[in-house]
């Protein structure tokens, strides 16, 4: 038996964001806290979204202090404004950082104590304020998941609050909002989406529903990520990457991830490394470690990523999956290794210990040791 969770309403396609005012009214919102970052404000996306909300007769307050790899202090600052402004719902605008921060604000608005008190699975006991997520990147898929990923500023460790109560009521993926994203961000978020799909496909929680989503996501990413990075104004590429991200998010929200995310969270917490970049660098090395668990699945992945495996042995076909991942990363400009990002090997032991404690580690297809994780970090240098 397994459950399958996703937001009740998912609006997709060019112009979808124009529906947000109506959706706020349906959720009986009187005053919205918009959660975002200063870049979103500067490029005009926040102003556009707020105009649609206000046109529906709903008041707006803003918290624009979200940081990459959102911190516990961001959620604390946001909930202070939520309470001072007497808001009754939350709208997040941006990528995963904004959505995770918005979830964190919702948790603190309805639960006592610190947000780190709720790290773990199904620790929440109260309903969060209504949440609408306006997504502007094709990668994290936090707009459709039960995960809230926050960095503890005292320990510099990322933790995850996993609960069905975190699910937004409405997700909005409007590819027009994604056309202003620079190539490096497009590449990093796209590789994050690939990691979601691929890790889910080989995870211990994979099932026929998540397989269908993960497979289609991998095929779309293989076809459309390169064009989206090459030309950010390619609406067709942007729209197909939005679909890929959404599908991959639905897959991992229900099938689980693995060591790539468990390890990437340590790089994000300790080095503030962009999540998608950390995933992309680690992905081929973790999956080379995982490959013996199911050679057929890795041979399948090679095909999904455009490799010709006709006439190859099962092992050689599986190896092609690792080659395909590395080629895609190189083509979209991902750094070749952690060494380029000044990661210090002295931190590997600590990060390995904490990676094995991460909530994503349990669904990795091979359960390893601290020594195994250290070796993967070393290989990724």
What's the rounded Cα separation, in Å, for the pair 270 and 272? 6
Query: Dihedral of the CA atoms 123, 129, 132, 135 (nearest 10)?
Result: -50
| Distance from the Cα of residue 142 to its chain's centroid | 5
How far is the C-alpha of 341 from the C-alpha of 347, rounded, in Å?
A: 14
At what angle are helices 96-110 and 72-84 packed, to 10 degrees? 60
pTM of the model: 0.94
Give, in order, the Cα–Cα distances in Å from 255 to each of 68, 192, 263, 313.
26, 16, 18, 28
pLDDT at residue 173, as a whole number: 97
pLDDT of residue 335: 96
Q: Where are the alpha helices (DSSP H) in the chain?
A: 20-26, 38-42, 45-55, 72-84, 96-110, 183-202, 208-230, 235-255, 259-271, 275-290, 295-304, 314-331, 348-357, 370-379
Pick left, alpha or beta for residue 63 (phi over 0 → left; psi -120 to 50 → alpha; otherwise beta): beta
Rounded distance between C-alpha atoms, residue 98 and residue 65, angstroms: 9
Q: Quickly tell me which residue has 């979103």 as its tokens.
A: 40
Task: Report how far Cα 373 is from the mean position of its chain's Cα atoms.
Answer: 22
Q: Are 217 and 196 in contact (CB under 8 A)?
A: yes
The pLDDT of residue 268: 93
Whose CA is closest to 24, among 132, 103, 135? 132
**Is-contact 154 206, C-beta < 8 A?**
no
Give residue 1's pLDDT. Answer: 84
Instruction: Compute the distance between CA of residue 58 and CA of residue 171 in angstroms, rounded to an integer.
Output: 19
Residue-wise pLDDT for 189-209, tens only, equals 999 999 999 999 999 999 999
Which residues have CB under 8 Å from 365's CB, separation 6+? 202, 203, 204, 258, 290, 293, 294
Q: In whole angstroms, what is the distance from residue 243 CA to residue 225 CA?
A: 12
Q: Where does residue 92 rank: exposed (0-12), middle (13-18), buried (19+ CB within 10 A)?
A: buried
The rounded distance, in Å, linking the Cα atoms of 302 and 381 is 24
Q: To 10 degrees, what angle do helices 208-230 and 183-202 make? A: 160
User: pLDDT of 204-249, one tens digit each?
Assistant: 999 999 999 999 999 999 999 999 999 999 999 999 999 999 999 9
Contact assessment for residue 317 and residue 172, using Cβ atoms and an 8 Å cutoff: no
Best CA proximity match to 74, nearest among 153, 182, 135, 6: 153
Task: Tell me phi and psi for residue 131, to 5 degrees.
Answer: -130, 125
**Cβ distance 115 to 108 under 8 Å?**
yes
pLDDT for 366 = 98
* pLDDT (tens place) for every residue of the chain, 381 residues total: 888 999 999 999 999 999 999 999 999 999 999 999 999 999 999 999 999 999 999 999 999 999 999 999 999 999 999 999 999 999 999 999 999 999 999 999 999 999 999 999 999 999 999 999 999 999 999 999 999 999 999 998 899 999 999 999 999 999 999 997 999 999 999 999 999 999 999 999 999 999 999 999 999 999 999 999 999 999 999 999 999 999 999 999 999 999 999 999 999 999 999 999 999 999 999 999 999 999 999 999 999 999 999 999 999 999 999 999 999 999 999 999 999 999 999 999 999 999 999 989 999 999 999 999 999 999 999
CATH assignment, 9-178: 3.40.50.1970
> Domain limits of the chain?
9-178, 183-379
Residue 105 to residue 87: CA distance in whole angstroms: 11
- The CATH architecture to which 183-379 belongs is Up-down Bundle (1.20)
Q: Which residues pair with 94 in a beta bridge?
A: 135
């Amino acid at each position: 038996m397994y459950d399958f969770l996703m937001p009740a309403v998912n609006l997709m396609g060019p112009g979808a964001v124009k529906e947000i005012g109506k959706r706020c009214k349906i959720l009986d919102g009187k005053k919205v806290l918009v959660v975002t970052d200063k870049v979103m404000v500067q490029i005009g996306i926040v102003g556009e979204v707020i105009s649609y909300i206000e046109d529906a007769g709903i008041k707006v307050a803003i918290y624009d202090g979200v940081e990459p790899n959102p911190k516990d202090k961001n959620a604390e600052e946001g909930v202070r404004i939520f309470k001072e402004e007497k808001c009754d719902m939350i709208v997040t605008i941006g990528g995963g950082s904004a959505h995770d921060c918005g979830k964190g604000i919702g948790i603190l608005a309805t639960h006592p104590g610190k947000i780190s008190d709720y790290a773990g699975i199904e620790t929440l006991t109260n309903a969060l304020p209504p949440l609408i997520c306006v997504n502007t990147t094709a990668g994290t898929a936090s707009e459709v998941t039960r995960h809230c990923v926050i960095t503890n500023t005292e320990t510099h460790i990322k933790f995850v609050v996993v609960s069905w109560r975190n699910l937004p009521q409405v997700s909005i993926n409007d590819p027009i909002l994604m056309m202003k994203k620079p190539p490096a961000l497009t590449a990093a978020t796209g590789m994050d989406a690939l990691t979601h799909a691929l890790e889910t496909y080989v995870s211990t929680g994979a099932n026929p529903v998540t397989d269908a989503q993960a497979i289609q996501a991998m095929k779309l990413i293989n076809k459309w990520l390169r064009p989206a990075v090459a030309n950010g104004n390619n609406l067709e590429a942007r729209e197909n990457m939005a679909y890929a991200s959404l599908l991959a998010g639905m897959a991992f929200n229900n099938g689980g991830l693995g060591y790539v995310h468990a390890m990437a969270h340590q790089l994000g917490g300790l080095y503030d490394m962009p999540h998608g970049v950390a995933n992309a660098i680690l992905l081929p090395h973790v999956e080379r470690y995982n490959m013996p668990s199911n050679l057929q699945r890795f041979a399948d992945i090679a095909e999904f990523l455009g490799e010709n495996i006709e006439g190859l042995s099962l092992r050689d076909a599986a190896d092609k999956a690792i080659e395909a991942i590395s080629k895609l990363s190189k083509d979209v400009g991902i750094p070749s290794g952690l060494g380029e990002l000044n990661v210090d090997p002295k931190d590997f032991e600590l990060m390995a210990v904490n990676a094995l404690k991460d909530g994503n580690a349990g669904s990795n297809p091979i359960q390893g040791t601290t020594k195994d994780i250290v070796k993967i970090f070393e290989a990724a240098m």
